[in-house]
Structure 1
Amino acid sequence: MPHVSIKHFPAELTQEQKQGLSDAITTAIQNALQCDEKVISIAMESIPPQDWSAAVYQPEIESKHQHLIKQPDY
């Protein structure tokens, strides 16, 4: 039951762009984890830049760095 949570700075994405992103992520997860697309969920949440450190960086990147499969370079 993979769940992907995408947190990002505000960006205007069309529904078509969101669907394309969802499709690409779904395909990658299916290929890597050999699971049915019906069990995959994906969420997107826009985080204001001024809230990034407290809402995302500290709790999800810095404190859980051992779980990251790709490190940010900032």
Structure 2
Amino acid sequence: MPHVHIKHFPKDLTDEQRQRLAEAVTTVVVEHFGTYEGAVSIALEPVAPEAWETRVTVPDVQGKAELLIKEPHYRTA
């Protein structure tokens, strides 16, 4: 406790970038949840842009709107 699951467009991150991201997210989670570093787990899940609406927007954003602490404001092209 807690587990952070980040869905994102595919992006190749170096091991160093992944480590820095994990450290930054862990620091914020530890601070706000009053827990310890070892209790935090983080997952990265790439989602293709063409699947974003069906795999993220509909089930996670619209389907669980009551859980959001920040709503997206997607750009339209």
What one-letter code is carried by the residue in structure 2 that aligns with 1:23? Answer: E
Residue aligned with 2:6, SS: strand
Report the residue type matching 1:27 in the other structure.
T
Equivalent pairs, count: 74
Residue 43 of structure 1 corresponds to 43
CA RMSD of aligned residues (A): 0.6
Q: Percent identity?
A: 45
Gaps of 5+ in 2: none
CA-to-aligned-CA distance 1:11-57 (integer Å, 9 cap, x gap): 11111001101100000011001101111100001100111111111
Please give the secondary structure, in 1, of the residue aligned with 2:24.
helix
Ranges in structure 1 where 5+ consecutive residues have no aligned partner: none
For 1:3, the equivalent position in structure 2 comes to: 3
Name the counterpart of 1:23: 23
The aligned counterpart of 1:13 is 13
User: Quick one: distance in 1 between partners of 2:15 and 2:65?
Assistant: 32
TM-score normalised per structure 1 = 0.96
Return the TM-score normalized by structure 2. 0.92
Q: Quick one: which amino acid aligns to residue 72 of structure 1?
A: P
Q: Hey, what's the Cα distance between the residues in 1 that align with 2:24 and 2:43?
A: 14
